[in-house]
Amino acid sequence: MNKLADRFNEGKPKYSLIDLPSLEVMVRVLEFGTNKYKRNQWKRGLKVTEIIDSLLRHISAFLDGEDIDPESGISHIGHIQCNAMFLSYMMNNKPELDDRSREVKDG
């Protein structure tokens, strides 16, 4: 009987659950951004509300039936995925850029 090597993966993320082909359009948007700006320059920091504004613009265009972003020529879905990744990155790595309103609401 062949015994497999020991592995201590309990509690570690199972990246094999990700469908990488579904993320290809996001990679295309990142490549477009690399040509327009610089590679990974977004990691320097973006205000959270600016990311949300862009995310919502792409969601709105997609909801209105527009599949392809006119500027990039790439699917709005890729832009939505990028903005979601940017938002996650900023919240995890640059919380000082969280400029959401913290107004107290009545009632």
pLDDT in the model for residue 107: 58
Q: Determine if the pTM surpasses 0.85.
A: yes
pLDDT in the model for residue 106: 64
Q: Please name which of 46, 59, 41 lies closest in space to residue 98, comparing C-alpha atoms.
A: 46
Position 2 pLDDT exceeds 90: no
Phi, psi (deg, nearest 5) at residue 68: -110, 130
pLDDT in the model for residue 28: 98
pLDDT in the model for residue 33: 95
Task: Report the alpha-carbon distance of residue 76 to residue 65 in Å, rounded.
Answer: 10
Per-residue model confidence as pLDDT tens digits over 19-57: 999 999 999 999 999 999 999 999 999 999 999 999 999
Residue extents of the structural domains in the chain: 31-97
